[in-house]
Amino acid sequence: MVQELWLYPPLAFSRLGRSKIPCDSFRWGPNDVHPRGTGKTTIEPTQTLLVAEDGTLTSKLPDKIEFKDADGFKPVCPFLGCVARRKLIW
């Protein structure tokens, strides 16, 4: 029996934009924290699923991440984890 159910992180923001094409998938990369580094956070492209109009799926690995195109910013979907605490009933 599920006793508690929550989302992690508890608050998420997504980027809203005019573009009809969503942003490609990415993950956090290593930060440049060397003594003479920039200190910037980096991101790396990862496998992205494309859904065709007929519902078929294909995947691609983009060379770089573009957050904006000619129409404006691309929408981004935040990652949320669903966590549950349950009690075993025998």
Q: What is the distance between the alpha carbons of residues 11 and 38, in angstroms, rounded to a whole number? A: 29
Predicted confidence at residue 32, as pLDDT, reads 81
Please state the pTM of the whole predicted model: 0.62
Q: What is the pLDDT of residues 26-51, one digit of tens each?
A: 988 888 888 888 888 889 999 999 98
pLDDT along the chain (90 residues), means of 10: 84 78 89 83 91 93 94 84 86
Predicted confidence at residue 4, as pLDDT, reads 92
- The Cα-based distances of 48 to 25, 35, 44, 71, 74 in angstroms read 5, 34, 12, 21, 14
Tokens of 89: 């009933």
Q: What is the distance between the alpha carbons of residues 27 and 65, in angstroms, rounded to a whole number? A: 10
Every domain of the chain and the residues it spans: 17-78
